[in-house]
């Protein structure tokens, strides 16, 4: 296992890639730990022994319930989860203060030295645009289509069908 003092620092792109997943996972852990504390029966143990009042009294077996959750363990686990969340978020936020990059499409630089926060904004906008584009219906490939300049729409050859009219009769 490599020594943490000699480990390579994470690149901002790597942190951005994992930040959402880490945030979700660590927040889920803290929520689960919180829910454990909401169940007093998990935090309470008991050891009972019964002694009869006299020699002829009923002999009852001892009862015991072990403590299943310790508050100190919950706090330690919460601290571990939050430390990871804080580290990843801080690394991303501090990196965003200094990180800049060019936006290049097909070898052409569209934007120069764009801040990381704007790149993240662009990523979200492109994701939203991709969602919209995916919902656009496609032309049926079983039909022959041609563009009609008069309407600006794609058309197929007209289909001629016969239709009869409903005639209502009194019964």
Residue 5's pLDDT band (boundaries 50, 70, 90)?
very low
Query: Same structural domain for residues 125 and 75?
Result: no
> How far apart are the C-alpha atoms of 68 and 45, rounded to whole Å?
8
Q: Is residue 167 part of a domain?
A: no
pLDDT value at 28 more than 50 = yes
Q: Is residue 14 part of a domain?
A: yes
Q: Which SS3 state, helix, strand or coil, does residue 142 take?
A: coil
The tokens for 77 are: 């686990």
Q: How many domains does the chain have?
A: 2
Query: Same structural domain for residues 18 and 80?
Result: yes
pLDDT value at 137 more than 50 = yes
Domain containing 121 equals: 99-135
CA distance between the termini of the chain? 91
pLDDT for the residue 130: 94
Identify whether the C-beta of residue 29 lies closer than 8 Å to the C-beta of residue 83.
no
């Amino acid at each position: 296992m490599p020594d943490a003092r000699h480990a390579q620092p994470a690149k901002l792109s790597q942190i951005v890639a994992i930040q959402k997943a880490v945030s979700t996972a660590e927040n889920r852990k803290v929520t689960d730990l919180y829910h454990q504390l909401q169940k007093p029966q998990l935090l309470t143990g008991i050891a009972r022994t019964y002694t009869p009042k006299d020699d002829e009294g009923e002999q009852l077996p001892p009862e015991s319930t072990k403590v299943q959750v310790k508050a100190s363990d919950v706090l330690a686990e919460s601290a571990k989860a939050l430390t990871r969340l804080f580290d990843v978020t801080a690394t991303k936020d501090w990196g965003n203060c200094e990180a800049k990059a060019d936006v290049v499409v097909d070898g052409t630089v569209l934007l120069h030295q764009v801040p990381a926060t704007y790149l993240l904004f662009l990523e979200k906008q492109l994701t939203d645009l991709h969602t919209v584009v995916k919902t656009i219906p496609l032309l049926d490939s079983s039909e022959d289509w041609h563009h009609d300049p008069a309407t600006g729409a794609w058309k197929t050859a007209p289909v001629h069908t016969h239709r009869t009219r409903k005639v209502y009769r009194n019964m």
